[in-house]
């Protein structure tokens, strides 16, 4: 991917935009799943959140691999390795996002769906940095 469209913090703006669009769609999916698990399925909101997050981890990996990081997409056996790496990266963000969700609901008084959206933002920044550097292993700063 060319960085001719400019960079932000050394990362091509086009890649950040793609990652954000995929993330926005995933946030909507995650919120819909969370609502389904909690309001329809009767699960505790924190458990529903963890399940919804894992489903979106897999979905985001597939879309980011095919689109955001298409220039260095994981193919064949590397696809499964990348899926494992993204699960480690994104899975490590589950405690962060779940803790923030709990804090926003319990101490912030937010509804669980709004709190979840608020918790997605800081965990999304964390996930992008690690995904760009490890899941789709960049070879130079210009390729982030």
Which of 17 and 140 is assigned the larger pLDDT? 17
State the Cα–Cα distance between residues 144 and 140, nearest whole angstrom: 7
pLDDT at 120: 92
pLDDT at 111: 98
What pLDDT, in 10s, does the model give residues 23-52?
A: 899 999 999 999 999 999 999 999 999 999
Tell me which residue has tokens 């890649």.
15
Adjacent-strand bridge partners of 7: 12
Handedness of CA 41, 26, 49, 51 (dihedral sign): positive
pLDDT at 4: 55
Residue spans per domain, the chain: 7-139
- What is the pTM for the complete model shown? 0.80
Percent share of the chain, pLDDT over 70: 90
| End-to-end Cα spacing for the chain | 9
What pLDDT, in 10s, does the model give residues 61-110?
A: 999 899 988 888 889 999 999 899 889 888 888 999 999 999 999 999 99
What pLDDT, in 10s, does the model give residues 15-28?
A: 889 988 998 999 99
CA dihedral 77, 81, 87, 88 (to 10 degrees): 170
């Amino acid at each position: 991917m060319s960085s001719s469209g400019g960079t932000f913090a050394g990362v091509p703006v086009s890649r950040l935009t793609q990652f954000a669009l995929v993330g926005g769609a995933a946030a909507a999916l995650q919120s819909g799943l969370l609502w389904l698990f909690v309001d329809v399925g009767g699960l505790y909101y924190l458990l529903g959140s963890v399940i919804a997050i894992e489903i979106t981890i897999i979905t985001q990996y597939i879309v980011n691999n095919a689109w955001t990081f298409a220039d260095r997409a994981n193919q064949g056996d590397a696809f499964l390795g990348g899926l494992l790496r993204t699960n480690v990266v994104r899975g490590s963000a589950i405690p962060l996002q779940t803790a923030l969700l709990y804090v926003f609901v319990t101490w912030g008084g937010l509804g669980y769906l709004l709190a979840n959206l608020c918790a997605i933002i800081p965990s999304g920044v964390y996930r992008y940095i690690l995904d760009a550097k490890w899941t789709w292993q960049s070879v130079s700063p210009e390729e982030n």
